[in-house]
Structure 1
Amino acid sequence: MGRDPRRQQPLPGAIDCLQRLHMAGKRTVLLSNAPRRHEEVQADMRSMGIEDGFYTAIVTSGEATHRALRDRPDPWWAKLGERVFHLGPRRNASVLHGLGLIRVDCPASADFVVATGPDDQRNSAELGEFEPILRDCARHRLPMVCANPDLEAICAGRREICAGALAQR
């Protein structure tokens, strides 16, 4: 996507590249492992000066997760149930919006887990902080949907774990 996550702004040349591709009539699709829906990532792009017209579409892993939860495309998805434990920050909860799912506060009450990243209560750089909640999910044999396969990212100069690291555990 051409974004430097340490600075939350486009990498040098990214906007110019998108403008040139657009002017040349090329279709450009931005792919992101962001666990958020495409509208939210689009707003992030706008805030960095990347205009909507510079690309054709945005595809995010969060949007793919949302659609799979909505459409239940195969037997694995179909049997997930409706009670979901969200393991992630509030800012990523839109992946669950509009699906008719019942959000629960603990794994014991859930049918499955959706991991979007470190939650707001624990240190986002230390995987060990999540061991108790991950053990609880495992103890209840909850299937986990991972909305971001990345293991880690650098945000504002800090290493942070991503949902992929939680799912890998």
Structure 2
Amino acid sequence: MTIPLIHGLSSLAGRYDGLLVDLWGCLHDGVEAHACAVDALVAFRRLGGRVVLLSNAPRTPQAIARQLEAMGVPDCAWDGIMTAGLATRLAVEERENSWYAALGPRFWHLGTERDACLLDGLARERCTDVDDADFVLCCGIRRPGETLDDIMPELEPALARGLPMLSANPDRFVLRGVVREICAGMIAEAYVARGGSMRQEGKPFPSVYRRCLGMLADALPERVLAVGDGIGTDIVGARDSGIDAVWITGGLPAHFWGIAPERVPPQTLVDEACRRHDVRPAGIMPMLTW
């Protein structure tokens, strides 16, 4: 297996009507926007393409738009935003399946206060004591540096009562600048490992891609390109939805491999990772550029 190196999005743009673009690790690093990525999205839209930003953040699109504005990302770089947080809210609101239909009205929230409003307006009540809850809403850590050792003891009462967990972010890790932090996906994984039941929304699950295709004027999957640094989320999710993908290696992959973000990674590392996840992306780019 040899995954080709893509020198710029411009070499692929004519094949696609729409882009699904990851944020953290692709468009920004959690602190600053990547100007080259912003320029690439603006250029794609100038050619008539549509861009949906697809994030596993456990927040609303409005919150993400404010964050991007603060980083200097202009709204001319995208047409719409879909998040794992919104997908979670919609699944609860629509009672998407029997799992959601069975959820009780009271939840205990694990995450920052800014994310606690995710289910506001859906006839759900936040509990301050997990013993009063019907389910756990997991949005991630509450403060920088928090670990599973800090969190899991607090979840023991929920496990003992058999409470289901709803994870609003399937990501396991994220880089904030150069610091790696755990995400809700890692907490949810640990919850299941201890015998708990759990449901997640966002990448790599097909339901969020169906919502995104609707935002791209119902573009055909074969005319859509996904771009992101998460091989287990962005690239696997695209594969499972019949969408081509470009793997950005300058985010989490470069961190794991111990190489500079802008460096082209050794082909052996790329091929091994793709074999392990059973994916074959259309190509790799260290950073998203035009």
Match of residue 231 from structure 2: none
Instruction: Verify: 1:3 aligned to 2:24, yes or no.
Output: no
Q: Give 1:31 shift.
A: 0.6
Instruction: Verify: 1:152 aligned to 2:186, yes or no.
Output: no
Q: Give 1:53 shift.
A: 2.7
**Residue 95 of structure 1: SS of its match in structure 2?**
coil
Match of residue 80 from structure 1: 103
State the Cα deviation string for residues 70-103 of structure 1 (Å, max 9, x = none): 1111111011010011111101123122212111
- Size of the aligned set, in residue pairs, is 166
Instruction: Verify: 1:28 aligned to 2:54, yes or no.
Output: no
Match of residue 165 from structure 1: 186
* 1:102 partner letter: E
The CA distance in 1 between the partners of 2:32 and 2:179, in whole Å, is 16
Match of residue 49 from structure 1: 72
**Matched-pair contact (CA < 8 Å) for 1:125–1:159:** no
TM-score for the superposition, normalised by structure 2: 0.55
Per mean C-alpha deviation after superposition, the further-off stretch among 10-19 and 21-30 is 10-19
| Equivalent of 1:98 in 121, 133, 136 | 121
Q: Which runs of 4+ in 1 moved over 6 A?
A: none
**Matched-pair contact (CA < 8 Å) for 1:107–1:140:** no
The CA distance in 2 between the partners of 1:164 and 1:40, in whole Å, is 20
Percent of aligned positions that are identical: 36
- Cα 1:140–1:124 change in 2 (3 A) is farther
**Residue 156 of structure 2: SS of its match in structure 1?**
helix
The CA distance in 2 between the partners of 1:88 and 1:125, in whole Å, is 11
TM-score for the superposition, normalised by structure 1: 0.91
State the Cα deviation string for residues 92-144 of structure 1 (Å, max 9, x = none): 12312221211101221000111000124xx6342101121121210111100
RMSD: 1.5
**Matched-pair contact (CA < 8 Å) for 1:152–1:160:** yes
* 1:84 partner letter: F
**Residue 96 of structure 1: SS of its match in structure 2?**
coil
Within a 5 Å distance, the mapping from 1:10-25 to structure 2 comes to: 10-25=33-48
Match of residue 141 from structure 1: 162
**Residue 136 of structure 1: SS of its match in structure 2?**
helix
Which is higher, the Rg of structure 1 or of structure 2?
2
**Matched-pair contact (CA < 8 Å) for 2:27–2:38:** no
Which blocks of at least 5 consecutive residues in structure 1 are unaligned?
A: none
